[in-house]
């Protein structure tokens, strides 16, 4: 296993745009179905939001991370700032709007660690292109730009364009999947959908390994440079013009308790791998391992592994 994520002078910096929310998690035997009430086993309130989780993942792996978001003036925002302080995420690009409320997500988790999520992005829903312009120095000073689809579409795309102009390596984790104008796929250096998200962008079912390969090729044809389809317990598939391969999921020594945030762990770690100039395959092996380990702990941001855990595992 390569050694990675050690703070050194050569490491590139990472800018992440996204959402912070407080996750209200309910753990039980099963995720209730429509109209059903179940008795839960455990309840936790913790930090979440895909962008924020990715920032924590990257910072815990010793990434040099700045986070762009908007939060309200409330106890949830305090939770966010305390976490960033502890984790070393730079907060100069976080907009604090006292007229807004920070978002919340309701998360149901079953005994196998599977989840169902409903997120209300709150203050971050009010991000506008002007906010990105106001934080342009942060993007300019970064080498890698990572974002998702929880912020307003127009803002996500605007920020990707700006990051592209600044010659950042761009990573778009298209979660939750939302429409992207065909002209904008060329802005994306790394596109990291899961199977369901890839199906959304291609409007077709993905069932077999052959379907996965074809899907990745279809996505490349849209102008994306590197496609990573994450496959949960089956691992990942990678494709660009030169290489194509499957990677099996990392073999865990502990049981899976909660898969919430595994995709975020993957994306944050991929950014760190690239920031450390790892070869793409090495960066993906690293990210795959980080994502796997995150599933052995409860919570989203709380489950992001520290660099020592990765080396020791
Ligand atoms: O990816 C997991 C995250 O999705 C949770 O933390 C929740 O807040 C939602 O944004």
For the stretch 229-267, pLDDT in tens is 999 999 999 999 999 999 999 999 999 999 999 999 999
Structural domain includes residue 162: yes
> Rounded mean pLDDT of 196-217?
98
The residues with which 229 forms a beta bridge, in sequence order, are 237
CATH number at residue 240: 3.40.1190.20
Structural domain includes residue 149: yes
Structural domain includes residue 307: no
- Rounded to the nearest whole angstrom, what is the distance from the C-alpha of residue 274 to the centroid of ligand 1? 23
Q: Is 108 in the pocket of ligand 1 (CB under 6 A)?
A: no
pLDDT, position 141: 97
Taking the CA of residue 262 as reference, the ligand 1 atom at the shortest distance is 1
Q: Is 53 in the pocket of ligand 1 (CB under 6 A)?
A: yes
Structural domain includes residue 84: yes
Contact 291, 80 (CB under 8 A): no
Range of the domain at 213: 13-30+40-301
Structural domain includes residue 125: yes
Structural domain includes residue 2: no
Query: Which residue's CA lies nearest to atom 8 of ligand 1?
Result: 49
Work out the mean pLDDT of the chain and round it to a whole number: 95
Query: Which residue's CA lies nearest to atom 9 of ligand 1?
Result: 49
pLDDT, position 313: 53
> Rounded mean pLDDT of 58-63?
98
pLDDT, position 11: 84
Distances (CA, A) of 31 to 34, 38, 110, 200, 234: 10, 8, 5, 23, 22
The residues with which 25 forms a beta bridge, in sequence order, are 44, 107
Report the number of distinct structural domains present in the chain: 1
């Amino acid at each position: 296993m390569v050694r990675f994520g050690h703070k050194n002078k050569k490491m590139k910096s990472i800018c992440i745009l996204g959402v912070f929310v407080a996750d209200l998690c309910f753990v039980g035997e099963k995720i209730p179905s429509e109209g059903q009430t179940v008795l839960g086993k455990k309840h936790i309130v913790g930090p979440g939001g895909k962008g924020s989780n990715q920032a924590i993942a990257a910072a815990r792996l010793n990434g040099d991370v700045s986070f762009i978001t908007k939060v309200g003036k409330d106890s949830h925002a305090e939770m966010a700032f305390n976490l960033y302080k502890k984790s070393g995420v730079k907060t100069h690009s976080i907009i604090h709007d006292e007229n807004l409320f920070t978002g919340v997500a309701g998360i149901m988790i079953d005994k196998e660690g599977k989840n169902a999520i409903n997120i209300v992005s709150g203050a971050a829903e009010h991000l506008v292109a002007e906010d990105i312009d106001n934080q342009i120095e942060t993007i300019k000073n970064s080498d890698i730009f990572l974002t998702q689809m929880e912020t307003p579409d127009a803002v996500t795309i605007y920020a990707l364009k700006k990051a592209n102009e600044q010659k950042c390596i761009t990573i778009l984790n298209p979660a939750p999947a939302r429409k992207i104008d065909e002209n904008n796929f060329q802005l994306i250096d790394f596109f990291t959908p899961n199977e369901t998200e890839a199906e959304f962008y291609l409007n077709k079912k993905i069932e077999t390994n052959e379907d996965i390969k074809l899907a990745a090729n279809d996505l490349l044809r849209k102008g994306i440079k590197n496609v990573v389809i994450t496959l949960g317990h089956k691992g990942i598939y990678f494709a660009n013009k030169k290489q194509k391969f499957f990677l099996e999921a990392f073999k865990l020594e502990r049981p899976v308790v909660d898969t919430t945030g595994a995709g975020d762990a993957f994306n944050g770690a991929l950014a760190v791998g690239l920031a450390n100039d790892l070869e793409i395959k090495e960066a993906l092996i690293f990210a795959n391992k980080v994502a796997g380990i995150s599933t052995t702990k409860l919570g989203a941001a709380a489950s992001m592994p520290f660099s020592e855990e990765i080396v020791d595992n």
